Amino acid sequence: MSSHEARDPEATWRVVPVYALTRGRTRSAGQEMPIEAVVTANELADRHNPALQVEYREVLALVSGPVSVVEIGAALRVPAAVARVLVSDLANAGYLVMHLPPAAEENGRPNAELLERLLDGLRSL
């Protein structure tokens, strides 16, 4: 427990360890999803299937627009690895659409197009 959580009256306590939410998995069973990936909801997600586990329904409630896996983890107060598994499960089940970042160049450097978009975004601030 951090000192911030102790002072925050709205901090919620988890009875179940966060990795129990993923049944101990640290990787998705489907396509590998980087934590910087962005996801969007589709028509199936709008139905909010009540049979889904509570954490999955919480993820779907957060995805009203494009949102990154890291942002979902922060909102749920779980590690990024747990958020990645939850989001990957929903994407594999057809509830979310995954938007992967551009691949790196052969030399390992970031894609030039990505860097240009980043610069444009910074300049617009």
Please indicate whether residue 36 or residue 69 has the higher confidence score (pLDDT): 69
Ramachandran sector of residue 24 (left: φ over 0; alpha: ψ -120 to 50; beta: rest): left
105 token code pair = 């160049």
pLDDT at position 8, please? 45
pLDDT at 125 exceeding the cut of 50: yes
Tens of pLDDT, residue by residue over 111-121, are: 787 788 878 87
pLDDT at 91 exceeding the cut of 80: yes
pLDDT at position 10, please? 45
Q: What strands, in cross-sheet order, belong to the sheet with 96-99? A: 67-68, 38-41, 96-99
Q: What is the DSSP letter of 10?
A: T
Query: What value, to the nearest 5°, has the Cα angle with vertex 75 and ends 69 and 79?
Result: 60
Residue with tokens 């069973």: 29
Domain boundaries, given as residue ranges, for the chain: 29-123
Tens of pLDDT, residue by residue over 2-45, are: 444 444 444 454 555 565 566 666 666 677 777 788 999 887 76
Q: What percent of the chain has pLDDT over 90?
A: 8
Q: Strand, helix or coil at 43?
A: helix
Question: Rounded to two decimals, what is the model's pTM?
Answer: 0.67
**What is the rounded CA–CA span in Å between residue 89 and residue 64?**
18
pLDDT at position 51, please? 79
Query: Which residues, 6+ apart, have CB-to-CB distance to 50 below 8 Å?
Result: 57
